[in-house]
Structure 1
Amino acid sequence: MMLEGIAELPLHQGHVPAWLANIMKRLAKAILEIMVEEFGPDKVVERFSNPLWFQAFNNVIGMDWDSSGSTTVTTGILKEVTWRNPELGFLVLGGKGRSARRVPEEIPYTIELLGLNSDTGKKLEKVSRIVAKVDSAMLQDNYTLYHHSLFVSENGVWAIVQQGMNLKQGMARRYHWFQDTSFYEDPHKAVAGVKHDLVLNLVSRGSGKARKTILDLAKENPNEIINEYSSLFNKLRGQREILSYITPSRTGRIKFEHVNKIAVYEPLPLPKYLLEKLRRTYEMQPKNLDDLLVIRGIGSKTIRALALISDLIYNEPPSTNDPVDTPYDPFIYAYAIGGKDGVPYPVNKNDAEKIIETLEDIIFSAKIGRKEKLLAIKKLSKIKIRFRITY
C-alpha cells in the first residue's frame, strides 16, 4: 500500500469532550490490535502513510470527517494508545506545536521500548529533520508547518505525518511520508486537496536542474552570489543601477520573461541577511541536499533566494506546480459511530460501546488461541452493514 501524499482540511474550532476522547482511545486501540494481529506493525505504520486511509481511520473513531483536528487529535490519540501499549509493536512520536520539536528527545525512549539499535535512532532523527525541512523549504506552498508526527515500528519501519496551516484561507494541509520514498523527486503521490498558484516546488521531477544549481551555488564564494542577488533584489523592487544608464546591455543576462513568476519567491530575504547564511553554508561545503538542509539557519528564505538566482541568472527555473491530485472523500467511514460535531450524526455513546465490546471480544478470542481471523473479519463486515441500515 505504497501511497503517500497531501490532504487538505479546513480549520475547525472546539475540543473533544472527555467522554468522546475515551471512546476514541478504546476504539483506536481495538482496531490497532486487530490490524497488528492480522498484518503486523510494519504494515500498520505503512497504512498511516496513506492520506486517504488515515482520514478513514479518523472518521471511524469519531473525529470530524473534514477538519484540521483530524490530524492533530487522531495522532494525539494514537500517540497515547501506542505508548501505553508498546506491545502493539509501533510508537507515534511528536505531535502539535512544541510536541513536534520533542521528536529528537523521544527517539531514545523509542529505541529502548522497541528494541532498536542506536544507528536506527540516528537515522530516524535525521529523517525527521529532513522531511520537516523539505515540506517547509523545498516545497513552499504557503502552508506553515505546525504539526509533525513520526510513526516507528519494532523493525525500524517509519512513516511521517505532518501538517501545515494557511491562516489566510483557513485551511490546513497534511503531508504523508513513507520510508521507501525519494526525499527530493516527486515524494508526494495520490495527493488530495485543492490546487493553488504561486508554489515553489523544488521536489518536482522537473526541478532537477534547479536543485543541482542551488547546491552548486551554496558551495560558491558567497560574496559573488550576493553581488548577483543584490542586483536582482534591486530590480525586483523597481530600482535601477547607475551603470544601467551607461551600459544597458549589462542587464542582458537576466531573462525578464521570467519576472511574471517572481511572486512565487516573495518575500525575499535582504542581501545582508542572506550573506550571513551563505557564509555558514560555504564553510560547511555541503556534499548533497541532505547536508545543505540540516545546516542551522538554512530555511525557506535562503532556499527561495537561491532558487531565484538559479532561475533568473542561470536559466534553471524550478517547478511552480502544486503537487495536488484529484480529491478523494472517505466520508462513508464517518457513518461508523458518527462525528464529534454531529456530522453525519452525533456520536451515540451506547452504540459506540457495543462496537468496542465486539472488537475487544474478537481480540480476546485471538489472544487465548482461537484466532479465527476470517470469522473476525466477517464480524466486522456485519457491523458495518448493520450501521448503514440503521442510519
Structure 2
Amino acid sequence: MIHRGIATFTLDEGKCPKWLFERLVRLGRGMLEIIIDEYGPEEFIKRIADPVWFQALGTVLAFDWNSSGLTTILTAALKEAIRGQEKDLGVFIAGGKGKTSRKTPEEIENWGDKLNLPQEQTKSLVYNSRLSAKVDSALVQDGFQIYHHAFFFSKKGSWAVVQQGMNTVNQTARRYHWYSDKTQINADETQINADNKTQTKTSAFSFVCEPHRGIVSELKQKFVLNLVSRQSGKTRDLSVQLVQAGYHSLIKDIQILRKHSSPIHQMAVLKINNRQITFLNLENEEFKFHPVILEDFSQSRYLEKILMKVCDIKPSGYETLLATAGMGPKTMRALALVSEIIYGAKPSYEDPARYSFAHGGKDATPYPVDRQTYDQTIEMMKRAVAKIKLDFSEKRRIIQNLEK
C-alpha cells in the first residue's frame, strides 16, 4: 500500500544562512545516526514519509515550522548529513530542489550500480520516483507547480518521496509525501518507458486511486481536479476506454468541446439527420464554474499528436496511460472533460488537502487527537535528542520546542 500526505505552507523567499545550514547538517547527522541505529533504516523511511514527523524533525533542527523553506533546506541538510555514510546507515537520498530534482533517476541508477542492486529493483525505484512526481502534477491539478522532488530509499527496497509545489498566486507551497512499505515485482503487469517499449513494472500498488494517508494543510483550494479520488473511478476507466477506442473516435469528441467551449456557445449540440441532441447546457447551475468554460480548446497540434500516439499504444490501464511519455496535465484534463461532458462520468473536484494535522485536532476536527501516535512521535524525538552530543541548554531548547 502507498500512503501519501499533503502539507501547505507560506512560500518562502531568500536563502538559508550558511551557519544555519551547517548547524542543520551537524544536528541532522546526529539525529539520523541515532534514529537509524535504534529503529533501523526501514523505520526511518516510513517516518520521513509522515508529514507531521517530517515537520517535527524540521522543527527540532531549528528551522521555521511554517515556511516552504523547511522542506527544501531540511531535505538538502539530510542529504549532506549522510554523504559518505549511506552504505553504513542503509539509507539513500536522491534528488532535491530545481535542477537537482531532475537528476533523481540518474542518482538512483548510480546507487543501484554501487550497491549491485538487481536491475529490476533499480528500474522499480526509478519508476516509482517518476510516477509519483507525475501523479502530483497531472492527476492532482491543484494549482501547485512541482519544483522539489526528493527520493529516500533503503537497500531492501522501501522508499519514500517528499516533493513540493508552489502556487505563486496565493504565495503558498504544498508538500506531498509518498511511502511504500515494500517493493514487489509483478510479472503480469507492464509499464511503458520513454521509448514506448513495454517492460516489467515493479509495483503492486495503486498510484492512481486514493494514495493518501495523513494530510496537513493551512489552505484548501476551492477548485481542484482530483483524478486520484475514489469518486473519479469512472473518469479513469472511461479515459482508458476513450484511447482504446481509437484516435478518430476520440478526436471527434474533442472537436465537439472545441466548438462549444466559448462563452458564446453555451451548449454542445449534435445534429443527426433531422434529429438534434443537446449534450450540455452551461447555463445550468451545476456547470456555472465548470472548467470547460475556461479551457482552451483551440487547435493544439501537440494535443492531437500525443492523443494519436497514446491511442496507437492502447494502454491497458490508467496508470499505464499516465506513464506514457508526453501525457501531462492538459492531456489528462482533456480526457477527463470528454468523459464528463459527453459521457457523464464526473470526476472529483474536491481538494485532497485538509485543514488538520495528521495527529488530529483538539476540537476533534476532522477526528480526535491520536494520543498514542502523537506521544510516540514526541518520545522518539526526545530519545534521539537525549543521545546527541550537545550542550545541556541546547538539548533543553529542542525538547521545549517539541513540547509546545
TM interval, short-chain normalised: 0.7 to 0.9
Question: Which consecutive residues of structure 1, in runs of 5 or more, have no partner in the other structure?
Answer: 331-354, 362-378
Kindly state the Cα deviation for residue 319 of structure 1 after the two structures are TM-superposed. Answer: 0.5
Contact 1:11-1:170 at 8 Å conserved across structures: yes
> What is the letter of the counterpart of residue 190 of structure 1?
G
| Aligned counterparts of 1:2 and 1:102: Cα–Cα separation in 2 | 23
Which residue does the alignment assign to 1:365?
none
Match in the other structure for 1:285:
314
Aligned to 2:288: 260
The residue aligned with 1:344 is: none
**Partner residue, 1:51:** 51
Q: Structure 2: where are the runs of 5+ without partners?
A: 182-204, 360-383
CA contact (8 A) 1:94 1:150 kept: yes
What amino acid is the match of 2:13? Q
Cα distance, 1:164 vs. partner? 0.7
* Alignment-mate amino acid for residue 157 of structure 2: G
Give me the whole-angstrom Cα distance separating, in 1, the residues matched to 2:297 and 2:83.
42
Shift of 1:244: 6.8
1:177 aligns with 2:208: no
Q: How does 1:1-391 map to 2 (within 5 A)?
A: 4-86=4-86, 87-180=88-181, 182-193=206-217, 194-240=219-265, 250-254=276-280, 256=282, 257=284, 258-263=286-291, 266-273=294-301, 274-328=303-357, 359-360=388-389, 383=396, 387=400
| Cα offset, 1:51, TM superposition | 0.5
1:371 aligned partner = none
SS of equivalent residue, structure 2 residue 276: helix
CA contact (8 A) 2:34 2:387 kept: no
Contact residue 262 and residue 293 of structure 2 kept, 8 A:
no
- Paired residue secondary structure (2:135): helix
**Separation in structure 2 between the aligned mates of residue 81 and residue 272 of structure 1, nearest angstrom:** 47
Give how far 1:151 is off: 0.4
1:200 touches 1:319 (CA, 8 Å); kept in 2? yes
**Residue 116 of structure 1: CA displacement?**
2.6
Measured in 1, the distance between the counterparts of 2:268 and 2:399 equals 79
2:214–2:357: 8 Å Cα contact kept in structure 1?
no
Match of residue 338 from structure 1: none
Cα distance in 1 between the residues matched to 2:358 and 2:394: 20
Moved over 6 A (4+): 241-248, 379-382
What is the one-letter code of the residue matched to 1:169? N
- Counterpart amino acid of residue 119 in structure 1: E
State the shift of 1:83 in Å. Answer: 2.8
Give the superposition deviation at 1:212: 0.2
Contact 2:208–2:319 (CA<8 Å) still a contact in 1?
A: no
Whether the aligned pair in 2 keeps the contact of 1:151 and 1:158 (CA below 8 Å) is: yes
Structure 2 CA distance for partners of 1:386 and 1:91, relative to 1, 3 Å: closer
Aligned counterparts of 1:244 and 1:210: Cα–Cα separation in 2? 22
**1:162–1:175 contact (8 Å) kept in structure 2:** yes
Aligned pair count? 350
Q: Look at both structures and tell me which one has the larger radius of gyration over its CA atoms.
A: 1
Q: Which moved more, 1:56-65 or 1:165-174?
A: 56-65
Counterpart Cα distance in 1 of 2:2 and 2:321: 28
Q: Could you tell me which amino acid in structure 2 is paired with residue 103 of structure 1? A: T
8 Å Cα contact 2:208/2:228 also seen in 1: yes
Distance in 2 between the 1:326 and 1:126 partners? 31
Secondary structure of 1:52's counterpart equals helix
Amino acid at match of 1:171: T
Tell me the TM-score normalised to structure 2 length.
Answer: 0.78
What secondary structure is seen at the aligned counterpart in 2 of 1:263?
A: coil
**What is the letter of the counterpart of residue 117 of structure 1?**
P
Q: Contact between 2:257 and 2:268, CA under 8 Å: does it hold in 1?
A: no
Using the size of structure 1 for normalisation, the TM-score is 0.81
* Cα-to-partner distance string for 1:195-215 (whole Å, 9 max, x where unaligned): 111100010011111100011
Of 159-168 and 214-223, more deviation after overlay is shown by 214-223
> What percent identity do the matched residue pairs reach?
36
1-structure distance, mates of 2:140, 2:53: 23
